[in-house]
Structure 1
Amino acid sequence: MFSLEPNRTMTLLVNITETPNNRCIDQKHFDWLFTYRPHYIWIIFVLGIIENLFVIFVFVLHKSRCTVTEIYLGNLAAADLIFISSHPFWAIYISKDHWPFGGIMCAAVGSSFKINLYSRNYLLMMVSIERYLALVKTMTIGRLRRPWWAKVNCGIIWMFTAGLNVPTGVFRKEIFNKKFNTTACRTDAPSQNWYVATNILMNVLGFFVPLVVTAFCTSRMIQVLRNNLMRQFKKVNTERKATRLVLSVFLVFIVCCLPYNIYIFIKTLYTLQIFPPCIVKAIRYNVYPISIYLVYSNSCINPVIYSMVGNQFRQKAREVYSRLLCKRPDRRTS
């Protein structure tokens, strides 16, 4: 059975070639999508580590307290950093077609992918809600926009995400394949229904719910930004630039996460014998590798958006690194 996880290049190729009579798709035309994936993962790893550490350092080292939006974006950078830290393991695994890191690391690294997907989507949802309250509910925001509540919400999101991924960590195992004389890191669930339930959970809770909430908040924010009557309020004008940053992050979220979730949905239908197998096998070689490339890329695109669109972030970054890099003037003794 083909796995839905990003490290199963070898297994995918094995499962397709095990049916020589199947002529649904010629795999040779799509091998290049998998050949360059280890190199791409290493590039994303280097860029992502530098960029997300940069974002976290700016938020932590700046002399002023983080705003509610910055608390969420800082946690978003931390979630990306956790996922990016697992990239070297995936790159080595895919290159060697062998898992050499042991069972504990298999469970930990295997869980990082879904932890990142869940936490990233819900943190982005909270950022959109915060911007919605700032722009649309300007008179009734109350305690909901206090930094303390943002920290509590982030804690709840992390616990919720960790709880959802406990079964993945439990069933993720290091398994020796006698037929191909290699060790694989894969999910060994007790039944096929577990895979179906996990995929539906990811589609609904991991993507659809945050997408609907974020889309609603985004649509309302766009209406306010286009409303000429609202522009006369100074508070609304102050929030406009920060809202543009959130809208940019949301657009990247759609581009990077939607193809993967479409693939998960189609694969679930195939598991339930609703979707034709030939179409699914074609999607494996077209949509799946491209969707994984996009999911990986999202971890290093967000910091670039902060720097390009976030004026307040750029100002904080200049202040932090000018203070760190520039020498302080010597004090004169009397």
Structure 2
Amino acid sequence: MSGNQSNTSEDHCFVDYSLFFTLVPPYIVIISVLGIIFNAFVLMVFCLHKKACTVAEIYLSNLAGADLAVVCCLPFWAEYVRKGFNWTFSESLCKVFSAVTSMNPFCSIYFLVLVNIDRYVALVHPLSHERICRPFYAKLGCLFVWVFGLVFALPKSMYSKLEFNPQSNLTYCLLDFTSPDQYLMYEVRAIIFRFIIPVIIILFCVVRIFQSLSNRLMEGLNPQRTEQKATTLILAVLLAFLICWVPFHVAKILDVLQYIDILKCHTILFIFQQVSMYFAFFNSVFNPILYIVIGKSFQNRTKEFFKQLTGNYLSEH
């Protein structure tokens, strides 16, 4: 997320940041506050409810955990931007921030991969669903995603450092790769593993899900109501993720092309890169809203959760 200060083509392209410094910090603070409240609430409903989570809910609760982690880091970025890209915190926090903001899009997209595979198996191979898609395997899959997300974020954490600029009297939290090839290798790998591969898997699952649903409707067979509701919510979460994150990844591709001088620096390109990055943050707020508005199962869980809390409070008093 610290692309503004990394070794990209923006280093040799003058940009006026004045409006950026004014508008971005309050926007990030709002996203942070709403994201922390909403995602913490979602995790409470999923994790503290007496009824065990379904496989899809395990994936969605981990997605909420990834969103909560990143919105907890955003206030530090808001302060960094507010001070004109002057990092007043420790280098360790700079490294942690870089790692978390790198893990979030990686873990989020792969939790969506897992939840779409679950819907695919449930609707396309229903006889295999109970055998393959069990809560234990879902938790194991989530653990693998977290571990791989951490491994994926390690290079960004390792190469993040503080650098003082005596001319501007500012301390930057930036990515400092030892060579341009390292930067290109990191960004290309990120585009492939964080965008191209998971999107291909998701698109395959979604196409097969729609084919299965349409075939059942043509045959006069309606899918089970619970399966249909779960699928609707998951597809809505997927659509929200793609709307918020596809522009960010497109901007990353354009940034690489700009870095290797295939594209020239242009104000419109810079604005697109910045808007796409901060628009991606909104996804961490949008997901819990979808659970509340569309997720009938989540709504029922919420009602039961509050009844559970009320019952516990009355029994204690």
**Deviation of the 1:201 alpha carbon:** 1.2
CA change 1:194–1:14 in 2 (3 A) is closer
Residue 302 (structure 2) aligns with: 317
Q: Which ranges of structure 2 fall in alignment gaps of 5 or more residues?
A: none
The reply to whether residue 194 of structure 1 matches residue 182 of structure 2 is yes
Deviation, structure 1 residue 293: 2.1
Give the match for residue 236 of structure 2.
248
Structure 1 residue 51 and structure 2 residue 48: aligned?
no
Which of 249, 262, 272 is the equivalent residue of 2:260?
A: 272
1:212 aligns with 2:210: no
Residue of 274, 282, 293 corresponding to 2:268: 282
- The one-letter code sitting in structure 1 at the alignment partner of 2:55 is V
Q: 1:125-136 maps to which residues of 2 (within 5 A)?
A: 125-136=113-124
1:229-287, Cα deviation, whole Å (9 max, x unpaired): 566266x4430110000110111111101111111111111222222x144x43112x1
- Note the 1:1-334 alignment, pairs <5 A: 5=2, 8=5, 16-17=13-14, 32-97=19-84, 98-227=86-215, 228-229=217-218, 232=221, 236-275=224-263, 277-279=264-266, 281-285=267-271, 287-325=272-310
Q: CA RMSD in A?
A: 2.3
In structure 1, what is the Cα distance between the partners aligned to 2:132 and 2:190? 27
CA contact (8 A) 2:9 2:255 kept: no
Which range moves more in the overlay, 225-234 or 83-92?
Answer: 225-234
Structure 1 distance, partners of 2:313, 2:71, is: 35
Q: Give the TM-score normalised by the residue count of structure 1.
A: 0.87
CA distance in 2, matches of 1:329, 1:88: 38
Q: Is the 8 A contact 2:9 2:265 kept in 1?
A: no
Q: 1:106 to 1:12 in 2, by over 3 A?
A: farther
- What is the TM-score with the length of structure 2 in the denominator? 0.92
Q: How far apart, CA to CA, are the structure 1 residues paired with 2:289 and 2:59?
A: 16
Return the letter of the residue paired with 1:217: C
Deviations 1:141-162 (A, max 9, x none): 2532100000100011111111
**TM-superposition CA deviations, 1:135-186 (whole Å, max 9, x none):** 1111222532100000100011111111111111111001111111111100
Q: Which secondary structure does the structure 2 equivalent of 1:139 belong to?
A: helix
> Which residue type is aligned with residue 49 of structure 1?
I
Separation in 1, partners of 2:157, 2:139: 26
Partner of 1:24: none
Which region of structure 1 is more displaced relative to structure 2, 48-57 or 216-225? 216-225
> For residues 289 and 185 of structure 1, do their structure 2 counterparts lie closer, same or farther at Cα, with a shift above 3 Å needed?
same
Q: Match for 1:70: what amino acid?
A: E
Alignment: residue pair count: 313
What secondary structure is seen at the aligned counterpart in 2 of 1:140? Answer: helix
Letter in 2 for 1:133: V
Report the secondary structure of 1:179's partner residue. coil
Query: Equivalents in 2 of 1:222, 1:307: separation in Å?
Result: 24
